[in-house]
Structure 1
Amino acid sequence: MTPEMEQELSSKLRWRNFGEIPNSPVVDFQDLVRKVNSGELFLAVNYFVTPRFTHHLFGMWNSAVAGLILIPFVTALALVPVAFLVRDYWLLGGMPLALLAMVFAVPTLKPIKKFGSFLGVVTTVAMLWWVSLAGNYTAAVIAGSYTFPFWAVRYVYFRNSRKLTTAALRSETLLLYLLQNGHAFIRDMRSGEKF
């Protein structure tokens, strides 16, 4: 993390270290890192906050990888000229699927999280079956218009969340900022209590 970013986050903190937090399950930051690494505590970071930190913490290449999140829109737009070029208008049915992939791939939307994952697996299997056994390329493209955007978005959210979690375990300021603003939580694995 850059010194400027650390200073900016530090100026917004209520607590300067873990010792100041009331009812904290840890004595200090090193104790927290040790307990997370040993599995006593679990640290989770909100998926939605990761884009804000991606470029600052991980560099330009990771920002480019985060661009994969645009794949649902690119897929939906690309289906229009392709459908007209090959005169197969059934391909336009993939447009809403590509956009639905964006919604269903976001792991924090709990009511549809399991359904989105189930649909992701089903469309992946269907796409492979249609291509390899049935030879129905139109159906495969329609299924693929959900499959590829779904897994691309899921990958970006998961990857960036893991990277931000790792960065938070290296910077007390960043972790305090994330916890204080509700962007992260710590769970005691024995009691199940959230902090």
Structure 2
Amino acid sequence: MADYSLREVFKQFGKKIFGSCVNSCVSESQNLPLAASQGKVLQDQITQLNSNIEIKHCFCKNIASVDGIFEGYGYNYCYYNKSAKIGILHFVSRIETPDSAQNNFTGYYDVTTVLENMGITSFNKILESNYTPYDSTGVIRYKLVGYGSTLLYSSASQHYAFARYYTKDGEKGAWATSEFQKGDYITGSLIFS
């Protein structure tokens, strides 16, 4: 009995239900079919939205230090809305040069250089971000995550340092560059304007 009931319902009402859903989305009356002018307006809006989005990418040095030798290289790709000047940037980095200075907190993800390499020069600030650090074997370095990870803006160095939330109340703090070892990987994403 249950085997045919769903088929019967769809056979009896499926087209009508589907048609009503479509008409409800694009017209004020459920009984009116989609007018050609409404379809053209929708098509134009979709075309406009698609033409505003660019997909960009680059491979470059994307991790650096203001006061040291800490650096990493990796692949970066971005979905960028040209008209709104906002984007989502994803990155993968490998630490090539670790920093032996124990108190160097000036390591950062070089978002400005990465975006310039992609031809995006309107960078203002990072709105949200996160990253995940891995050791050279691919195991997450949980110590560096804490209660969550973020890129923390430093007004002193004017860069976004690798940081974590270190209390359950959301206190943030940057990591020393010496915490990252040669061969470590960092993957992350951020929303920027």
TM-score range, shorter chain: under 0.3
Q: TM-score, with normalisation over the residues of structure 1?
A: 0.25
Give the structure, 1 or 2, with the largest relative contact order (CA under 8 Å, sep 6 or more): 1
Structure with more helix by fraction? 1
Return the index of the structure with the highest Cα Rg.
Answer: 2
Q: How high is the TM-score relative to the length of structure 2?
A: 0.25
